[in-house]
Amino acid sequence: MRRPLLSLFALVGVLAAGCSRSPAESFGMIGFRGMRVVYVSDSADVTTRDESTRFESIPVFPDAESPEVAIRAAVGQRLYAWGANCGSKYVPKRGSWDPKMGLSKASDGWNVADPAFLRNYARTTNTDYIVVLNRVLFRRGDVTRSGEQVVGKLGFADVTLDISVIDAREGKRVWRSPAQGRAESLTELQGLTNKGISSAIDNFYAAIPQVHRWGCAEMVDNFK
């Protein structure tokens, strides 16, 4: 019952504020609060790199036929499912890229190719924003000091995300966000992938306008 009420409150707030703000300004004012957000990750470019022989026998994801596909799916799922407390502030939906979205892939990530197509997609699917995963860079290795000595065989996983945020109703890209995450461990090398991805996604949401005002208990716990 919480989501309809939140959407109603968001609608009242928009009506009271008027409709003169630009899409970028509107996103800067409210972020995703009360919005219907579609997450698309199936067309992202994924680069993986192991910088230590210790990881040669450790798969990125157990039983995954392709680490790139598995990373794409894991990031997409976590973007969609982020935070039980924070996620209740907006309405997330999972999606796949479709030509009817009016989006195209450019050198600087997914952007709007046909605003009319995109606005029609927004009307027919009841969508406010589309979050498109552009790229993922995943690295694993050993932590070093001064580029030489391995510190107690401490392993790391670095995850860098490049994400486009599209205002579907206005037919414009309003934000392109880089987000980085890192996980380190002496012994639990298998779990570094998930922890690194989770860290990067936390950092993506932490940068969304007004998210710090949502009262997200889970985010506070993650950054302690």
> What would the pLDDT profile of 77-126 be if each residue is shown by its tens digit?
999 988 666 767 889 999 999 999 999 999 999 999 999 999 999 999 99
Contacts of residue 224, Cβ cutoff 8 Å, sequence gap at least 6: none
> Is the backbone of residue 18 left (phi > 0), alpha (psi -120 to 50) or beta?
left
184's enclosing H/E stretch is: strand 172-185
The answer to whether the CB of 174 falls within 8 A of the CB of 192 is: no
Q: Note the pLDDT of residue 130.
A: 96
Nearest Cα residue to 23 out of 141, 123, 102, 115: 115
Nearest residue to 129 (alpha-carbon basis) of 87, 174, 89, 86: 174
Q: How confident is the model at residue 209 (pLDDT cuts 50, 70, 90)?
A: confident
pLDDT at 115: 96
State pLDDT tens for residues 175-202.
998 899 999 998 888 889 999 999 999 9
Is the pTM here over 0.85, yes or no? no
Beta strands 109-112 and 45-50: pairing type? Answer: unpaired
